[in-house]
Structure 1
Amino acid sequence: MKKPFKLLAAMAIVASMFMPGGEVFAQDSLDDFKEEQIKHRGETFRVLITANSEQEVQQLQQSFELRNEFEDHSFTADVTEKEFQALKNMPHITVEKVEILSIQMEPSSLIVSDEVDAAAASQSVPWGIKAIYNDNNLTSTSGGSNIRIAVLDTGVNVNHSDLYYTSEQCKDFTQQAPIVNNTCTDRNGHGTHVAGTALGDGGDDKKGVYGVAPNAKLWAYKVLNDSGSGYADDIANAIRHVADQASSQRVKAIINMSLGSNGESSLITNAVNYANDRGVLVVAAAGNDGYSPGSIDYPAALPSVIAVANLENRLENGTYRVANSSSRGYTSSAGDYVIQRGDIELSAPGTSIFSTWYNGGYATISGTSMATPHVAGLAAKVWAENPSFTNAQLRANLQNRAKSYDILGGYYAGIGDDIASGFGFARVR
């Protein structure tokens, strides 16, 4: 149950901050205002509140219900506009709105298969999987043993026939409790689609969809709501949880984030750095903001994240073509084979991708969201074959694979490291 904000108590806290020595207002004084609670809070939004001390944090949490807690005396909470303005006026307190991130698919591209069995049988190995394996006659896939792929998304239908045996963890980070175990319900479809591309195993009858690395294990983490958007603090919480789980279980993990926003979130940046320092590889969708330079979304724009561009199933200048909708990097940092902020790193199939769907069937959609799990799956397959690799060595291996298949099709695509395709298309062989 949500705690209503005690407006007068908050004003008391403000007054207390002006006391000599910056003492925090006494708890019994806060209790005097318990009857002065606002009954109708109205529309709320998420904020990050940072105080000077843990004591101040505890004081503030008497008025604002904790959502997620972070280092440096910070926590997030849902507030109204009036509460937000009151917080902004408090000395010794900083407050900022939490970034909202969304899935990176093109909604107009969605085609849900009516004839489930027939559709699956005709595309058990979709074109993108054949392309990344460099084998047009491919009938099944393999690889990824002992590697975990954490899909941070709208949830996953872990009971889907093509994902049932790959699922190992199912958690929800969007509910009132920071983490709810054994539930990751997907009512959107996006997360289930992404998971199928990364590690679908074809199902018991082997007529379903195969992903890049079907022997990997799925960590399905719901961080986005049913409309496909979610708060940065929930996503940051999930990123850190992946790193902690991988460390405690002594396993290798890859994070797939087919999501993004135009603005950077310090919460996610810090969480990504936390995961990288603990050996996790992080892969994210570059975004679908068109082919103007400098349009990469966050977190893909972070140098510590592999940003993935979207390739179409058609050739131009002898190679696959980068989709017009796929975001581009900065021209100033092109050509150096060095990943900087806002650079594309790798390209992968992302247009008209057939994969698993939340209703137990299949669907075809497009976007950098769909390209990203191809790279996550490939990373799992390569890591399983080279278990001594660090996450940095794995990333370098993927970059070298991409250099051997340079992409020359699409706006701004050209020889070498370009702002459209990055290093190129990393493949199995």
Structure 2
Amino acid sequence: MRRSVGIAIAVFALVGASASPAQAELGSGAVGRYIVVLKDGTDSNLLARLHTSELGVAVGHIYSSALRGYSAAMTEATKNRIARDPAVAWVQPDRVYRTTAQTTPTGVDRADADLSGTANIDGVDERTDVDVAVIDTGVDLDHPDLNVYREGAENCSLLGLNPDDRNGHGTHVAGTIGALDDGNGVVGVAPGARIWPVKVLNDAGSGSTADVVCGIDYVAAHADEIEVANMSLGGAGVDDGNCGETEGDIEHQAICRAVAAGVTFVVAAGNDGADAKDSVPAAYDEVITVSALADFNGQPGGGAAATCREDEDDTFADFSNFGADVDIIAPGTCIYSTWMNGGYNTISGTSMASPHVAGAAALYKSTHPQASPEQVKQALQLAGTADWAWPSQDGDQTQESLLNVADF
């Protein structure tokens, strides 16, 4: 079983002090953050003021109860000078700490992934044994909260280069699918699922049919390993018929053959507030097309205040495409997930709804490895609920099933 383990690194900005004439020589060089520990009986406030006036240190906290001392920004030369002060016990670097709490994003909460026995979200890193391709802008190959299968990474956008994400979109998608259940950062719907980065969009988030087909072709070539593929992307086009009737549409033909090889494709409906029939791959019958729910607190019932964008809680997102080609709805507003450069970010779109369903498909495939893509689609639709406000902004007369994986 392939595993990858990352180490989280937090970076904090440094605050420098302006140099006074009295400390011009000591103030040269890089500024660092230190903690000055004073000997018992020393007046912390007095000595901190003295060191500020004489040496130009930029004092932060002053400690006077649990211990005597202060924190400050200063150069290494100033630190060494202070360490020789008879009233100083020692000076130590100000180390970086990070939260040990893990956030359950609202979308993961609303899909009841925290109730799934297969997901088993409990802060302990037990990974979902499923491989998911993220056909997107790439994925942050070193993100500490993702199980990236680097050996399976492919770059169809810039041939010959690694598929690292310089946009953020693909990494965000990957986190919603399978961020690690390790007590840190966020957690995905299928925690720890192996992510195959397949870069088909450039760093500006755009690409061509040729690049997208290259990504689908790559997934089909690895259909014996990849169970699920997510495509949070789309372009203008129409469904030209069922598989076998795809002459003239290479993207549809490629997806048909990859689906026939056993890969479940989950795609975004699109963000035009229009019928998904005019967008591909959303219009294709062989994929699972996902519209977006506006949800701001991870709970049913509505009434929650909007957060990162204006919309009405628990309703069809005002930007989401709709129509007969949509198969299921999932949370897609103000979704918190992983981001490039080891970070995290909150964004909205059907691009964010789709990976919730891809994660759900991964959960299902982990316990039903022989299920066909059509069987996976039916299972997700049957497990869904009607527990969201409808009709709302939805432009059709069908209430899509809302993703729910509590019983998976």
State whether TM-score is above 0.5.
yes
Q: Equivalent residue of 1:230, what SS?
A: coil
**Aligned residue for 1:31?**
none
> Partner amino acid for 2:110?
A
Q: Which has the larger radius of gyration?
A: 2
* Residue number in structure 2 paired with 1:234: 211
Does residue 397 (structure 1) correspond to residue 379 (structure 2)? The answer is: yes
Larger mean CA deviation between 230-239 and 263-272 belongs to: 263-272
User: Shift in Å at residue 120 of structure 1?
Assistant: 7.1
Check 1:348–1:144 CA distance in 2 against 1; reply closer, same or farther (3 A cut): farther
**Distance of aligned partners of 1:119 and 1:132 in 2 relative to their CA distance in 1, 3 Å threshold:** farther
1:259 maps to which of 230, 233, 249: 233
* 1:410 to partner: Cα distance: 5.3
Question: Shift of residue 420 of structure 1?
Answer: 6.3
CA drift of 1:391 comes to: 2.0
Equivalent residue in structure 2 for 1:326, among 320, 330, 334: 320
2: CA distance, partners of 1:355 / 1:232: 27
Per-residue CA deviation, residues 39-93 of structure 1 (Å, 9 max, x unaligned), is: xxxxxxxxxxxxxxxxxxxxxxxxxxxxxxxxxxxxxxxxxxxxxxxxxxxxxxx
Identify which of 180, 188, 210 aligns with 1:201. Answer: 180
Q: Mind listing any 5+ residue stretches in structure 2 that lack a counterpart?
A: 1-9, 14-95, 239-247, 304-312
Contact 1:143 1:216 in 2 (8 A): no
Q: 1:161 deviation in Å?
A: 0.6
Residue 57 of structure 1: aligned partner: none
> For 1:221 and 1:378, how far apart are their aligned partners in 2?
20
Matched, 1:186 2:165: yes
Task: Measure how far apart 1:368 and its partner are.
Answer: 0.3
Distance in 2, Cα, partners of 1:325 & 1:228: 19
- Which secondary structure state, in structure 1, belongs to the residue aligned with residue 189 of structure 2? coil
Query: Closer, same or farther in 2 for the Cα pair 1:295/1:252, shift >3 Å?
Result: closer
CA contact (8 A) 1:261 1:298 kept: yes
Cα distance 1:419–1:327, how it changes in 2: closer, same or farther (>3 A)? Answer: farther
Residues 169 and 161 of structure 1, relative CA distance in 2, 3 Å threshold: same
Question: Which of 358, 373, 389 is the equivalent residue of 1:408?
Answer: 389
Q: Distance in 1 between matches of 2:209 and 2:124?
A: 34
TM-score, normalization by structure 2: 0.64
Q: Please, which of 92, 103, 107 is the counterpart of residue 124 of structure 1?
A: 103
- Alpha carbons of structure 1 residues 296 and 320: separation in structure 2 relative to 1, 3 Å: farther
Match of 1:35 in 2: none
Q: State the secondary structure of the residue aligned to 2:196.
A: strand
Q: CA RMSD in A?
A: 3.2
User: Match for 2:400: what amino acid?
Assistant: G
Question: Which residue pairs with 1:102 in the alignment?
Answer: none
State the alpha-carbon separation in 2 of the partners of residues 240 and 419 from structure 1: 36
2:225 maps to amino acid: V
What 5-or-longer segments of structure 1 have no aligned partner? 1-112, 331-342
- Cα distance in 2 for residues equivalent to 1:369 and 1:141: 28
8 Å contact from structure 2 (residues 200, 214) kept in 1: no
> Equivalent of 2:362, from 380, 385, 388?
380
Give, in angstroms, the shift of residue 360 of structure 1.
1.1
**Paired letter, 1:200:** A
CA distance in 1, matches of 2:108, 2:150: 20
Cα 1:222–1:420, aligned 2, differ >3 Å: closer, same or farther? farther
Distance 1:118 1:405 in 2: 43
On the 8 A contact 1:327/1:420 being kept in 2, the answer is no
Distance in 1 separating the partners of 2:352 and 2:295: 13
Residues 1:155 and 2:134 are matched in the alignment: no
SS of 1:239's equivalent in the other structure is helix
TM-score (norm 1): 0.61
Partner in structure 1 of residue 112 of structure 2: 133
Given residue 386 of structure 1, which amino acid in structure 2 is its aligned partner?
H
The answer as to whether partners of 1:149 and 1:216 remain within 8 angstroms in 2 is yes
Deviations 1:81-140 (A, max 9, x none): xxxxxxxxxxxxxxxxxxxxxxxxxxxxxxxx9989999766621111111126599654
Q: Deviations over 1:192-236 (max 9, x none)?
A: 110011011045xx3121111123211101100011010111111
Aligned match of 1:427: 405
Pairwise mapping of residues 88-107 of structure 1 onto structure 2 (< 5 A)? none
